[in-house]
Structure 1
């Protein structure tokens, strides 16, 4: 089914267009990533597709049967409303019934009012809402969203992002079919486990997707096409991120050859133009028109940066940072439990662990911002920290980009004794000469993040602490940052949920496992995940192969049995529903097997049925395990 057609779209802000005369199509089942420099118009294009902005020219056609759902970078929630009121805001009886049932059965709220609970269950039965309720439970559980009666104004930025994501996933799950899901940086503020779950969820769901993301593993896992906005034009690449890089490099090489050829022709034609008399013939008029076309081609600016920095880093002495028997806790939450470590020159350490285990506290302790409960942290006198944190750029007054950088330093020293000017350093990080004279308040969110990062690096620290450096940065900037950091001679500590970025840069990990335990793992994140999976498999294998000891009968005085854990009302109800759902799924699977075995179906009919059988098998496995758990309790 044809979802979207965009033809001749143009949009301008200020002097020049963001994009000019672009066209593309979106078909059902497409999963497309949109990439571009920050400030090139990605978010603007998404808002135009959603009807939130209007183009200057061109048309956007969306099939009347398609609904568009968008996850924005910053969601506008009513701070006085509760989580449940915001997530289940659709005026739909099924979602309203699920909301009421979930609030009544929230375990944190104690025993529910029995009359209200009975009425809620009857309403769920009446609307046949139980199947969709299980999907809602999965989404809320995986995104760690609980206490649905909390007010939105009390949530952190990361919690708000997860609530917005849950709302979007529930909306598209309820819409079922013909939905275009648009996502702007969906992985920001998610931990790695959540990102991996979201990858699998979007891969399995039959959803048509257009997303902006800086997470290249996520992009590769979810998307099968890449659209790039570059120099006001749109380029389309089928395939994964690596294929995109190869095709883009080939296109840029072809562009350079075309521009160079146009410039050679332009020089010859310019000489001819200068020799021509004012009164020209009809024949020369056509040559003049052709000259203008050549001039336009020859004037194309190739933005590919050739500047490479061999950094002259501030001297780092023999003593860097020593941590000896360091303990830190907040109440019952242990952060470090006797942690010992001595940093060495040039180390590149990734810090990983679930949200809330103390990663940011650890970074603050290294810098002396927070003190340990006991133990010692000794920092060398030559250490100069560069701390890139999540708070972003803080300025006292609005200034131009170039002025802001020059207030830090006029030049950046290189290893060969030469210097790079503030303007050249800005160009390396993709701030064009025109953009350098823009006021900071006029920059996009991603451009501000890029400038903040640049300002940290420009101070020439020898111990970099990067806390989620990839959030809101575009892919071209990330590539430049990676190249810069690969040649960096100082120490680097990185906290990031961007697995690609971490794999490329770190040589070992501090894994915060909880309860104050920190594992020093010798490898990058992907190697750690492989090791973790191997350990889990070994544990399962050992459990299966563990010899069973046959106990000798012993005559004992009978003791009263320990009281078994009683099932709650909610668990009893869940067990009843599971039995019905399992029977229904088995019947559906049998029916589909019979249809497929008859040999009378066309291919286009077989494909969705085959996919549904896979879904049913997975559901039967999940529900069967839960049924066994509840049965043992009964």
Structure 2
């Protein structure tokens, strides 16, 4: 394998603080690398340096000039006044420009026939029909449908998906991705996993999604206190080796501390002995002191705030309904919340998850039905958009604006400063401005402010976005012991599996299904053939089939697998024949060309569906 890009003796600082110095890293062809580390370690900065978004203060980035890097920023920027079409299709790419013209023309209810015929001919000449299908598939998966829409009108999540779509269409030599799964629903994440692991793609990414990390990456690079540690394996292997390294580091640190203590006694006891003969020992003392200062004891966020008392009545949703612009979002949904309910809220983007949460918390009054809240219910609502902090305000003042003192779960009362320390904000950061915090640190501050309310009904809307994995592990530990009601909205399948015992599934068109089980169990249940589909109700509480039921194929499934293999082969043959016919068809025969194109699109969609089902059955 050849090295595509390398960092040599890299050093960079923000706000007069060095994130790292003398850092060296190489990415080889076909490597799929995950960069991990705590919030504020400099992961996003390192990605931007490697993507050549700006220059390092020290060292250099080395790569071949012809190597193309595709970079997905956490908060991508776009040219002013651009439409989606202007951004997606590159001016330098002839195929893309033809596809752009074709897609824009077919959106017209009365397209010019002569122009269409010309485009059919040119698309055939440039072998662009398959590329056009790939582009449409990517845009569709990202929920991008109206190419003439102005980018300025899109939400933050839509902009992130648009930037990812463009990168996937361009298919660069190196993918550099900062939190690629943010703002994607689970179906799209699973599709993206397959796309990124096909071919021999070279990838460097930062992600908090542990299933995604494990499924996509074959190398883990940890950025820890300005140093790089490489692990050739998946995330589980990294955790094992990191634990061994930390144990060795801890042993060395304790030895150094003991030695430093002895040397400090010697320094204090023998001032007269500090002659030239003992100068080497004095130098060794200062060197050891510096090493020990650089090593801080392993710290982690502490989440143990008090929960408000919860009465018998918590929350009742009675036949609620909501629509926007004539579109049904929630239709006749009822549920009575019970103590210790642990509910995962799932569904594709735009199906109404945020609407349901806003109704539950009282931010929105439903058009139909009744919401009845218990007198003792205290909400803690961690919103996906985060809090609008004053960037010029001190961190500690933001906390003190809520309370000077906070009651903990053990009955102890602590100050705002002590609570910040437990959330890994040292005194220097507490008295610094919010603008100096990283994105993940701001999210951690938001989470802390939510928990300060001592909620007994906790709603977490995409809590994993921008939080480091160490903080997520602590959050999971807290949630496992949280005795109140939990509603979790997350595209992180690992977190949904671990934390939820029941799902509210937003199915679209107002339907909300209730499923008893976690997300993986739900997905398994979808793959089990239903004997009587008509028995499916809008609201079900059927228990999930055990995972063991799919380990061995039933007779029906074995027959289905054989039929799929035959059908996939037949579709591939048919597609080959149709593509050949398309190239031979006279471009003036517009109707024939349109018919062939539609048939090819239908068969490609069928092939994708059949292949996915074949993969599920063949791996069972």
TM interval, short-chain normalised = 0.7 to 0.9
Is 2:346 the partner of 1:356? Answer: no
CA-CA distance at 1:279 after TM superposition: 6.5
Aligned to 2:494: 500
User: How far does the alpha carbon of each residue in 1:286-313 deviate from its partner, in whole angstroms, 9 at most, with x for none?
Assistant: 2122212221222234252367554431
CA-CA distance at 1:277 after TM superposition: 4.2
CA distance in 2, matches of 1:240, 1:91: 38
The CA RMSD measured in Å over matched residues stands at 2.7
Aligned to 2:278: 284
Alignment of 1:386-535 (within 5 A): 386-395=380-389, 398-535=392-529
Q: Secondary structure at the match of 1:204?
A: coil
CA-CA distance at 1:576 after TM superposition: 8.3
CA distance in 2, matches of 1:418, 1:469: 27
Is 2:371 the partner of 1:377? Answer: yes
User: How far does the alpha carbon of each residue in 1:65-88 deviate from its partner, in whole angstroms, 9 at most, with x for none?
Assistant: 421111111121124221111001
CA distance in 1, matches of 2:158, 2:91: 21
Is 2:331 the partner of 1:322? Answer: no
User: How far does the alpha carbon of each residue in 1:537-592 deviate from its partner, in whole angstroms, 9 at most, with x for none?
Assistant: 997959x99xxxxxxxxxxxxxxxxxxxxx9666424168789xx9xxxxxxxxxx
Give the TM-score normalised by the residue count of structure 1. 0.83
Structure 2 CA distance for partners of 1:619 and 1:354, relative to 1, 3 Å: closer
Q: Secondary structure at the match of 2:223?
A: strand
Q: Secondary structure at the match of 1:170?
A: helix
Is 2:294 the partner of 1:293? Answer: no
CA-CA distance at 1:336 after TM superposition: 2.8
Q: Secondary structure at the match of 2:528?
A: helix
Is 2:270 the partner of 1:247? Answer: no
Alignment of 1:117-128 (within 5 A): 117-128=116-127
Structure 2 CA distance for partners of 1:308 and 1:38, relative to 1, 3 Å: closer
Structure 2 CA distance for partners of 1:356 and 1:325, relative to 1, 3 Å: same
CA distance in 2, matches of 1:517, 1:255: 54
User: How far does the alpha carbon of each residue in 1:393-446 deviate from its partner, in whole angstroms, 9 at most, with x for none?
Assistant: 224573111121122122322333212332332233222232222201222222
Contact persistence 2:301–2:471 (CA under 8 A): no
CA distance in 1, matches of 2:195, 2:531: 23
CA distance in 2, matches of 1:203, 1:126: 31
CA distance in 2, matches of 1:469, 1:624: 35
Q: Secondary structure at the match of 2:356?
A: helix
CA distance in 1, matches of 2:530, 2:216: 26
User: How far does the alpha carbon of each residue in 1:299-343 deviate from its partner, in whole angstroms, 9 at most, with x for none?
Assistant: 234252367554431111111001222222335432333222111
Aligned to 1:160: 159
Structure 2 CA distance for partners of 1:161 and 1:132, relative to 1, 3 Å: same
Structure 2 CA distance for partners of 1:619 and 1:377, relative to 1, 3 Å: closer
CA distance in 2, matches of 1:359, 1:624: 30
CA distance in 2, matches of 1:529, 1:225: 28
User: How far does the alpha carbon of each residue in 1:50-76 deviate from its partner, in whole angstroms, 9 at most, with x for none?
Assistant: 222221222221133421111111121
Q: Secondary structure at the match of 2:4?
A: strand
CA distance in 1, matches of 2:246, 2:379: 38
User: How far does the alpha carbon of each residue in 1:334-366 deviate from its partner, in whole angstroms, 9 at most, with x for none?
Assistant: 233322211111211111111222111111111
CA distance in 2, matches of 1:537, 1:500: 30
Contact persistence 1:82–1:148 (CA under 8 A): yes
Q: Which runs of 5+ in 1 are unaligned?
A: 546-566, 583-617, 626-634
Aligned to 1:207: 201
Give the TM-score normalised by the residue count of structure 2. 0.85
CA distance in 2, matches of 1:415, 1:453: 17
Structure 2 CA distance for partners of 1:568 and 1:447, relative to 1, 3 Å: farther
CA-CA distance at 1:240 after TM superposition: 1.8
- For these two proteins, the number of residue pairs brought into alignment is 560
Contact persistence 2:305–2:452 (CA under 8 A): no
Larger Rg computed on CA atoms: 1
Q: Secondary structure at the match of 1:299?
A: helix
Q: Which runs of 5+ in 2 are unaligned?
A: 534-554, 561-589, 612-620
Alignment of 1:525-564 (within 5 A): 525-535=519-529
Structure 2 CA distance for partners of 1:415 and 1:620, relative to 1, 3 Å: closer
Aligned to 1:572: 595
Aligned to 1:114: 113
Q: Secondary structure at the match of 2:517?
A: coil
CA distance in 2, matches of 1:54, 1:515: 49
Structure 2 CA distance for partners of 1:390 and 1:290, relative to 1, 3 Å: same
CA distance in 2, matches of 1:518, 1:235: 46
Contact persistence 1:105–1:570 (CA under 8 A): no
